[in-house]
Structure 1
């Protein structure tokens, strides 16, 4: 299964999140985390390193992943907007309220990884 994460617009933030997730034992055990160039949307230009891609195995937990992302985001001086995509499902973390976190976990757990061309 693949997930894509976009963070604001700075590649340095993606590198920071990559390091944070690689250091998290729950995420490290169940996912490979790489920064890659994303596929630009219609009318957009590519920006080089703009997507954090996770390839996960059977032990992946949406709750552990979302909580790790929330903890990283709260450590940032300017808390960036975080967009997570699994198949055709996209969740956005803006304020990281309890409701937003629960909604994100439910959406990622329910997402069909084969939608959207198996991304």
Structure 2
């Protein structure tokens, strides 16, 4: 899924890659402040307490991150901030791992809501 945002890729990447901003826009992942544990992040999420590891900061707009679920399963989430004629486009790949069809549909809705909150930070409308 993707969302066009009325801001430059650099602006969107800078905001989205700042882990302190996660609770502001990524409620599907982080419900409260992020706790740092070495190179990992611990957050309370709708799925329970999870561990997150982002790729190293980069100039390519890559925000891939591994999420270790309470079950111990690691889900790799591919996320990119790309240039778009109207600013930037955030692309997030949602995978159905350890989820029923109903849970997967809810996950897709949560990711869409997260991308909408990210866009609203920059004043982007629907």
Q: Check whether TM > 0.5.
A: no
Structure number with larger C-alpha Rg: 2
Query: Whose helix proportion is higher, 1 or 2?
Result: 1
Query: Whose strand proportion is higher, 1 or 2?
Result: 2
User: Normalised by the size of structure 2, how large is the TM-score?
Assistant: 0.36
User: Normalised by the size of structure 1, how large is the TM-score?
Assistant: 0.38
